[in-house]
Structure 1
Amino acid sequence: MKKILLIDGTYIAYRSFFAIRNFQTTSGEPTNAVFGFVSTLLKLLKEFPDCSFAVAFDVKAPTFRHQMLEQYKITRKPMPDALSAQIPVIKEVVKGFGITIYERAGYEADDILATIATRLVGAGMDVLLVTGDKDAFQLLSENVEILNPATWEITNTKSFIEKFSFPHTASVDYLALVGDVSDNIPGVPGIGEKTALKLISQFSSIESLYERIDEVEPVSVRKKLVAGKDLALLSKQLVILKKDVPGISEQDICPPKPDLSAIESIFQRLEFRKFLGQTKELFGISTEDDEMLALGQVVIPFSEILSEQDRFRPLCEDPKILKTGSGLKEK
């Protein structure tokens, strides 16, 4: 059965922005986040052909979690302006590939993906979540796997147990103890990953842990848990993803239907020369007629040079720049 890929667009945008530095067009427009996003998307399209795709994004607005905890995400720095400016461009690329975009005020991308994944699994479909957020582990099942775009590692229910020594259903309890700095999930002060792993492996859940709190050893850990009980219970509620986000229809998800004209225009504007050829190859579109010209160390499609003659004329007329190509004709 073909998988349906549900992508956390906000996560990939953030990761790309901070992983790729000093990347911009000749006019100075920052493109690092877009470049990383497109690179990831093309890799997914190549490795999962004929599958259906959807991308979810956060919306810049308070969510229901802010109502539960006023400090929620307050420690996270605002989205950098250079990244914020690239989000609309990323969405433009996604639309150019004919991929459905989901976003909903009051909810995070994770909640949208959880809602869609739950409905798809209910319909007997297989889902691959593309995200590096730890809270997504709670969505694992026989029909749901997670691909981390940072490592390209796929996690399923079996590999999760092998790594953490407890089932994925207890992942929310684990995160409730250790917290999540990036999302300002408080957790229990003084409880680290090793201690949390041991506690969840022994007690299975936060509720069971506190019902049997007298069994916790050493006493120092027990005292920390008692002092942080309210934070632990609140943290668990913050970590649990919503599976009933309103106004979301999974019926809109379908295989990519790229608009090559739109994609070519975007990539030329962003100076992503190599991505257009990769896109055409992915969708079986011949590139044999597009002659290539090397201007020094830069290889550019001849069609691009013809369409932007004013831009490339100085390079073409510079006698110091070596020009080589294949099948070049007088034009």
Structure 2
Amino acid sequence: MSDTLYLVDTFSLLFQVFYAIRQPMTGTRGQPTNAVYGFTGDIEHLVKEKKPSHLIFAMESPEPGERLNIFAEYKANRDEMPNDLRPQVGMILELLEAYRIPVVSYPGWEADDVIATLSRRAVRDGLEVRIVSNDKDARQLLCPKCKIYSIRKRQFYQEPELLEDWGIRPEQVIDFQSLVGDAVDNVPGVPGVGPKTASTLLQEYGTLEGVLDNADRVKGKKVSENLKAFRDVALRSRELVTLRQDLPIEIDWELARLREPDYESLVRLFTDYGFRRYATDAQVKYQEARVQAPSTVERTWTTIRTPEAFEAFLVELRQQPKFCLDLETSNVNPLEADIVGWAISWTPNHGYYIAVDGPAGEEFLDRDGVLAAMKPILEGADLSGAVAPVSPVVRKAPAPVARPENGDSAKTQGRLFG
């Protein structure tokens, strides 16, 4: 099965949830959080239910848009961003960083252009693509490997739905919008040409040029006149609605592969936002990740099998104010167990193992001699004076050490002495 890339129009999603959740919501510092809360829910849905292999959020460029050079009134009718939404933009960027989801933009171009470029490149590279946006411009990107996902309806939009809605194919979407225009983006189009008329014209003449070149043959005097009078407007509108599919964006798909979030950062953010349920869930995941995370610390140990090594070990041990001890034994029943080895440590990531029994052929120290040497230390005797040297006899095991029936060595609980 091919990897699947979800491309999300960040502001499209943000505005959707902002107007969907209109009841006031504030965080611990009084900051508005309604849009962030809805945005979090959508991220969770995408990650946990759609389970993409790759996920990217596309953003608008903060620089002046290139389309303004084509038409100065482009998007001129849009209202300013609401005051209680503006501070939430930075908050969702922090949130995406904590989720370890990349955010991509390109100077002078819109999120739609970023999505168009990345979707075409992803399809070329063998990925399945799902575009999360309610912007109708994205319909021009539809193809067998690229679908649109309506996150509000939880439905996919594909070529059959386009044919049912507009009566056209994906390659005709740009021409359709050039004729009809787009009131949201202040793209003028041809007066008097609505969706139904545009669909009929494109079904008959195929392309925008085909429609404009046959304006005299179009039924309806006013429509015919407007197609001729507003020819240049329609061609300019086509420039405005055509998404760039060739922006020079450098992308490494592996960097967009879905990863485990930074749960520690999510706990901090969710707590600040007042999202208690999300904070609790993130805290659980954070604790689980800490337990499961493989250690990158290098640990060393020294096995002591000779009297000389044991004497040197005792000299160091007597100088320690505290140490940890664990015993390896031959049986889980302490009344029947014999000591097999002593595990001792007093510095992080380094330990000693004193072997007093073992498999046949291995050398180890005398069990009773080691016990005699360790006894005063464990009993807390005054070690400041001279202590008679202990020289346990080195022995070889005559036979394998007896083990419990379950095959596991029994151990005492680790204890701290000091």
Quote the offset at 1:52 in angstroms: 1.2
The more displaced of 168-177 and 17-26 is 17-26
The answer to whether 1:6 aligns with 2:7 is yes
Give per-residue Cα distances to partners, 1:101-132, cap 9 Å, x unaligned.
Answer: 10122010111111111111111111111111
Quote the offset at 1:204 in angstroms: 2.1
Q: Which residue of 2 aligns with 1:196?
A: 198
SS at the partner of 1:129? strand
The answer to whether 1:127 aligns with 2:129 is yes
The question of whether the paired residues in 1 share the 8 Å contact of 2:5 and 2:52 is answered with no
The answer to whether 1:240 aligns with 2:242 is yes
2:230 aligned partner, one-letter code: G
Give me the whole-angstrom Cα distance separating, in 1, the residues matched to 2:67 and 2:6.
26
Return 5+ residue gaps in structure 1 as ranges.
Answer: 287-331
Give me the whole-angstrom Cα distance separating, in 2, the residues matched to 1:2 and 1:133.
24
Return 5+ residue gaps in structure 2 as ranges.
Answer: 290-418
Quote the offset at 1:203 in angstroms: 2.0
The answer to whether 1:20 aligns with 2:49 is no
Change beyond 3 A, Cα 1:203–1:255: same
SS at the partner of 1:182? coil
Number of positions where the alignment pairs a residue of Structure 1 with one of Structure 2? 286
Change beyond 3 A, Cα 1:250–1:110: farther
The more displaced of 236-245 and 195-204 is 195-204
1:11 aligned partner, one-letter code: S
Change beyond 3 A, Cα 1:142–1:240: same
Rg: which structure is higher? 2
Give per-residue Cα distances to partners, 1:219-259, cap 9 Å, x unaligned.
Answer: 12112222221111111111111112224314331113300
RMSD (CA atoms): 2.1
The one of 138, 145, 164 equivalent to 1:162 is 164
Quote the offset at 1:84 in angstroms: 1.8
Greater helix fraction, Structure 1 or Structure 2? 1
SS at the partner of 1:38? helix
Q: Which residue of 2 aligns with 1:259?
A: 262
Give me the whole-angstrom Cα distance separating, in 1, the residues matched to 2:166 and 2:79.
30
The percent of aligned pairs where both chains have the same amino acid is: 31
Q: Which residue of 1 aligns with 2:352?
A: none
The question of whether the paired residues in 2 share the 8 Å contact of 1:59 and 1:105 is answered with yes
Give me the whole-angstrom Cα distance separating, in 1, the residues matched to 2:157 and 2:285.
26
The question of whether the paired residues in 1 share the 8 Å contact of 2:26 and 2:33 is answered with yes
Quote the offset at 1:85 in angstroms: 1.0
Give me the whole-angstrom Cα distance separating, in 1, the residues matched to 2:157 and 2:286.
28
Q: Structure 1 runs of 4+ off > 3 angstroms?
A: 276-286
Question: What's the TM-score once normalised by structure 2's chain length?
Answer: 0.65
SS at the partner of 2:184? helix
Question: What's the TM-score once normalised by structure 1's chain length?
Answer: 0.81
Quote the offset at 1:276 in angstroms: 3.6
Quote the offset at 1:94 in angstroms: 0.8
Listed as ranges, the matches of 1:1-331 within 5 Å are 1-25=2-26, 27-49=29-51, 51-251=53-253, 252-277=255-280
Task: Kindly indicate whether structure 1 or structure 2 has the higher relative contact order, using CA contacts under 8 Å at least 6 residues apart.
Answer: 1
2:232 aligned partner, one-letter code: D
Give me the whole-angstrom Cα distance separating, in 2, the residues matched to 1:285 and 1:171.
48
Quote the offset at 1:281 in angstroms: 8.4
Change beyond 3 A, Cα 1:156–1:279: farther
The question of whether the paired residues in 2 share the 8 Å contact of 1:3 and 1:51 is answered with yes
